[in-house]
Structure 1
Amino acid sequence: MFLEILVAVGGYRLFKGLRRRRPSGSRSAGRVKRSSHEIGAAGEAAAQAKLRTTLQWLCGDDFYLHDGPLLIEPAPGTAFPTAEIDHLAITPFGIFIFETKNWSGRIAPSSSHGKLTRIAPNGEQEDRRSPIEQNRSKVRFLREQLPAIWPVSGAGLFTSPEVELQPELSTDLLSLNDLPHWLRLRREVFNGKRTIDITRARAAVLMYAETSANRLSEHRTRVAAASGNFGKLQEQTLGKYFHADT
């Protein structure tokens, strides 16, 4: 009888110990690591939302914010004729192209032309192409096509809450929190000039732009093949057009 009681007590203690450990194990098993595309898509959604609230604050209803990415063709007849615009905003005081980056860590100037240095929390450094450099041909193309009285500007928009921009960087590289002040300054510089007709400017820009999913997919395939990332491209393309965060 004593032996049976001892076994029962031991079994009960083992059962209680397993139950105490199970929740933390279940929580760990329930965590799903997001893909780089999902993180990027969330960053683009955050940028779009911040742009919309900022433009409403500055312009009321007198602005146009394109819903999603679009293509322009600044280099026809070349191996890479098209370029992708992440975010396009048209306001009474300017046309703006934003290149979105969801980088974390410290972002500093690089000694290499057209690059930025990303410094990870562990101190590892990596040079990456600057969003200003990526925007250069897009800004130039629209400036060449549109009336000179409509100023076209570009900026790099960093969406991660874990990014730290060094003060030595260009003021055209900004976090989401910097965006309202950056656009307010653009409006102040423009003050006194003839305002942009949003409807006319939208029609003019979209005349040179492509928004179809097929053309965007072709563009990304071409870019990914050149960079050796064709395998990743398939996942990104599917996620771009079918993911709930898009």
Structure 2
Amino acid sequence: MFFEILLGVAASQLLTRKKRRSIGDLFRPKHKDRSAALGEAGEAKAQATLRENLTALCGSEYHLFEGPVIIEHAPGADFPTAEIDHLAVTPFGIFVFETKNWSGYISPASVPGFLTRTDRDGKAEDRRSPLEQNRTKVAFFRSRLPSLWPVAGAGLLVSDDAHLSSALHSDLLSIGDLPHWLRARRDSYSGMPPVEVTKATAGIALLIDTSCAAMSAHRARVAI
């Protein structure tokens, strides 16, 4: 009987120890959750900055789609959809932006289509370039919209702790580079018939899906 009581007490203490967690453990997000939160914060920052700069440059004559949008660029394929972080329609072009909230020194990688991110302790890792991620998305719109409407893509590196190598392509931007990049696009389009923003926005709306269901289905596929 004494042994049974002792065993019961030991089991109770073991369960208590297994269940006991610190406050930090309870509220500390998993790595995947932290990465997702960091990405969402970067996208929100980029969206606000895009809106501010487009308003300064175009007044009300532009359209910035809200939130990420989904396109079906490869029907029938294992991964038929793609996610676009930001999509803007202006009188001087249609722009697809891929946002990264990376910190550290960003430089060209030895592997085509990749960039190297080096953190403060010198650890380096290669990551897929935002321009490479944008390639099929830009091609999708170019193939489906009138050729008179220029479509271009850019990668936005929004972290204040991101430092970009001068060797990077000019379409890879820090958040502070965005005003100049937009003005350069506007100036290079000077003399051409302006894009009809309302018409272009309506046409693009037929090619994208902004529903939660589409986003969930896409993210479930890429998470496999």
Query: 1:148 maps to what in 2?
Result: 147
* Structure 2 residue 128 is the aligned partner of structure 1 residue 120: no
| Moved beyond 3 Å, runs of 4+ | none
Distance 2:81 2:35 in 1: 24
Q: Which residue of 1 aligns with 2:202?
A: 203
| Aligned ranges 1:7-156 → 2 under 5 Å | 35-156=34-155
State the partner residue of 2:166.
167
Could you say which residue in structure 2 is the equivalent of 1:17? Answer: none
SS in 2 for 1:136: helix
CA root-mean-square deviation:
1.3
Return the letter of the residue paired with 1:52.
Answer: R
Give the aligned residue type for 2:160: P
**Cα deviation code 1:34-54 (max 9, x no counterpart):** 722222211111100100000
Deviations 1:146-169 (A, max 9, x none): 000000000000111000000000
Q: In structure 2, how many angstroms separate the alpha carbons of the residues matched to 1:177 and 1:141?
A: 28
Mapped partners of 2:37, 2:217: distance in 1? 20
Amino acid at match of 1:171: S
**Partner letter of residue 131 of structure 1?**
P
Match of 1:235 in 2: none
Q: Which has the higher helix share?
A: 1
Partner Cα separation in structure 2 for residue 151 and residue 168 of structure 1: 25
Q: Distance in 2 between matches of 1:198 and 1:46?
A: 24
- Which residue identity does 1:88 align to in structure 2? L
SS in 2 for 1:89: strand
Q: Report the Cα distance in structure 2 between the residues aligned to 1:204 and 1:137, rounded to whole angstroms.
A: 19
Over the matched positions of the two proteins, sequence identity in percent amounts to: 54
Which amino acid is the alignment partner of residue 103 of structure 1?
W
What is the alpha-carbon distance in structure 2 between the residues aligned to residue 72 and residue 39 of structure 1?
23
Work out the CA distance in 1 between the residues paired with 2:131 and 2:41: 21
| Structure 2 residue 214 is the aligned partner of structure 1 residue 215 | yes
Provide structure 2 residue ranges, at least 5 long, that are not aligned to the other structure: 1-23
Give me the whole-angstrom Cα distance separating, in 2, the residues matched to 1:43 and 1:54.
Answer: 16
- In terms of Rg, which structure is larger? 1
Q: How many residues align?
A: 196
Report the 3-state secondary structure (helix = DSSP H, G, I; strand = E; otherwise coil) of the residue aligned with 2:141. Answer: helix
Give structure 1 stretches of 5+ with no counterpart. Answer: 1-28, 226-246
TM-score (structure 1 length as normaliser): 0.78
Q: Once the 2 structures are TM-superposed, how far is the Cα of residue 94 of structure 1 from its aligned partner?
A: 0.3
Displacement after TM superposition at 1:33 (Å): 6.0
SS of the residue 2:223 aligns to = helix
TM-score (norm 2): 0.85
